[in-house]
Amino acid sequence: MATTVSEPPKAGFRLSMLIYDTRYRSMTIQVVALIGFLILIGFLVSNTIQNLNELGKDVSFDFLEEPAGYDINQTLLDYNNQHSHLRAAVIGLLNTLLVAFLGCITATIIGVIVGVARLSNNWLVARLMTIYVEMFRNVPVLLWIVFAMAILIETLPSPRDFKSGEATMSLFGSTAFANQGIFIPRLMATPYAWLLLLVFLVCVAAVIYIRKRALKVQANTGRLPKTGLISLVTLVVPVCVVFLGLSALSRSNTQVMIAAGLDQPVTAAVAAEELGSFDLCYPSGSASSLAARQFLEAAEIKYRRQDYFSKDAARRNFIRGRCDVLVVDQSSASATLAALSEEMRDGTKLTVLADDFSEGNAVRVEYPRITETGIPRFEGGTVLRNSLLALWLALSLYTAAFIAEIVRAGILAISAGQTEAASALGLRPKRIMSLVVLPQALRVIIPPLISQYLNLTKNSSLAIAVGYMDLTGTLMGITLNQTGKELETLMIGMLIYLLISLSISAGMNWYNNRVKLVER
């Protein structure tokens, strides 16, 4: 069967068609716009390069390798002022990510609670939440950050007050709320304690599996098996057994101290007297250093602790002579001694002290306490500095006000019929909210929530107002100032913020695709 196809008349292409022919016109406009855009970019780039040349500055990133020279108070990785500018920037980046992460979580929790409570039938609760939302939404976030910091500094007692007895530690003497920050206890672990964490995680997974199976049984038979006791046993028993096992091992693991500047294997007490100073290398989070501290205190030996980030850092500083006494396992003491002697630069004599002590339990808690000599300060434990607290608090409360509005909008978008139907089935109000309304509201909530997360992350760059050393404070602050590389540091900084924002977007979009209504 033959079909006739009528061909359009073939016309030659003329230049005027670029403007007058609608088929080409849109393309022409786009090409012209592109050229204009490229000219603009070219102008900006060449102007910058020209001006920098004129000032005798060249664009180079070599400064990243030079030693930074400044110290940072909150470091999530090992860092000292001899590390490079690049390392300082990474420390700053981690601080940015930390506060953004903490902020997003708390902002979401507060936001959801406030958003739901704003729709409460309780007049007082609903009005209070309205006041909260309006107050935080309508004042610049920088003011909230500075305000939060001022409150923390002015209302909490200083370490001096703790020493003089005007203030006392809270929560059974374990935590100090001071105007330098909140000092909390921390865990000190032996090198094998990660096994404990692994076992714990496996147990949690097992409990989740048990719960899921119970729900399956309920779906099939209508009868929900009791899982409370078995969950508890699964969670507690294996962890206890492993803890006891590891502790038995670590308690029999004898520790000794290697001291620099002595050639006789004397006791610690004699060593402290002969050396004059007894600086204990104190790697953070290591059970053996806590054991050494307790041993020295029991023997009433005067010592000074030098805190280091890790065992490696402690060893490095011992070799440089910045601390005098290193704690090592007795079994490997002679090997370590030989290795250290070789590495010591100036041939300082080393010796293993005569005392030994047990490493103690696999995991123990170190409490912060106020120092007795010297400047009053908290030693031990870990600290949430007030700069972090102020920033975290202000950013979460501020963003939570916006999130609350988003949540409220999401809930209102679900028709009242859903709630009524659910109550007709006999569900209680709490369950209606968590099982019927919120899951449906999520698909309205997630897209605007992404931009709130992005806002929070970007607002964290106001950190320098309270002296929190984030990426803006390190790379685009002190590094910029010490090296004078404005263009380079700002470019790297902007690129990093862009990457952070894009990854948050990507992650949240993926989540959005999961929860959005599946249509056929």
Partner 1 sequence: MKKSVFFSALTVAGLAATASAAATLDDVKARGTLNCGVATGVPGFAAPNASGEWEGFDVAVCRAVATAVLGDPMAVEFVPTTGKTRFTALASGEIDVLARNTTWTFSRDVDLKFTFIGVNYYDGQGFMVPKELGVSSAKELDGATVCIQTGTTTELNLADFFRVNNLSYEPVPIETNSEAQQQYLAGACDVYTTDASGLAATRSTFENAADHVILPEIISKEPLGPLVRHGDDEWGDVVRWSFYAMVAAEEYGVTSANVGEMSATAGDNPEVNRLLGTEGNLGEMLGLDADFAKKIIENVGNYGEVFAANIGESTPIGLARGLNAQYTEGGLIYAPPFR
Tell me the closest approach of the beta carbon of residue 112 to partner 1, in angstroms: 34
The conformational region for residue 280 under phi > 0 = left, psi -120 to 50 = alpha, else beta, is beta
Per the structure block, which two tokens stand in for 363? 């995991």
Question: What whole-number distance in Å separates Cα of residue 431 and Cα of residue 425?
Answer: 11
Tell me the closest approach of the beta carbon of residue 95 to partner 1, in angstroms: 12
Task: Tell me which of 70, 200, 309, 511 binds partner 1, using CB under 8 A.
Answer: 70
Tell me the closest approach of the beta carbon of residue 152 to partner 1, in angstroms: 8
DSSP states of 366-380: E--EE-SSSS--EES
Q: In this structure, are residues 125 and 115 in contact, taking their beta carbons and an 8 Å threshold?
A: no
The closest of 27, 53, 105, 119 to 429, measured between CA atoms, is 119
Nearer to partner 1 among residue 34 and residue 499 (C-beta): 34
Candidates 214-222, 242-250, 416-424, 467-475: pick the segment binding partner 1 (CB under 8 A).
Answer: 467-475
Position 71 contacts partner 1 (CB under 8 A): yes
Please report, as residue ranges, which positions from 78 to 137 form the binding site for partner 1 (by CB under 8 A).
81
Looking at the chain, the number of H-run helices and the number of E-run strands are 19, 12
Please report, as residue ranges, which positions from 482 to 501 form the binding site for partner 1 (by CB under 8 A).
482-484, 486
- Please give the C-alpha separations between residue 65 and each of 56, 68, 84, 477, 483, in angstroms, as whole numbers: 21, 9, 5, 17, 12
The residue written with tokens 């010591």 in the block is 344
- Please give the C-alpha separations between residue 81 and each of 86, 109, 196, in angstroms, as whole numbers: 12, 38, 35
Lay out the site mask for partner 1 across 250-289 (x = CB under 8 A, - = otherwise): -----------------------------x----------
3-state secondary structure 102-158: HHHHHHHHHHHHHHHHHCCCCHHHHHHHHHHHHHHHCCCHHHHHHHHHHHHHHHCCC
Position 306 contacts partner 1 (CB under 8 A): yes
Nearer to partner 1 among residue 46 and residue 122 (C-beta): 46
Task: Tell me which of 75, 386, 459, 460 binds partner 1, using CB under 8 A.
Answer: 386
Nearer to partner 1 among residue 304 and residue 316 (C-beta): 304
Please report, as residue ranges, which positions from 15 to 54 form the binding site for partner 1 (by CB under 8 A).
35, 38-39, 42-43, 46-47, 50-51, 54
Task: Tell me which of 467, 496, 505, 512 binds partner 1, using CB under 8 A.
Answer: 467
Question: Could you list the residues that contact partner 1 (CB under 8 A)?
Answer: 35, 38-39, 42-43, 46-47, 50-51, 54-57, 69-73, 81, 150, 153-154, 158-161, 179-180, 279, 304, 306-307, 322, 371, 374-375, 377, 379, 386-387, 464-465, 467, 469, 473, 477-478, 480-484, 486
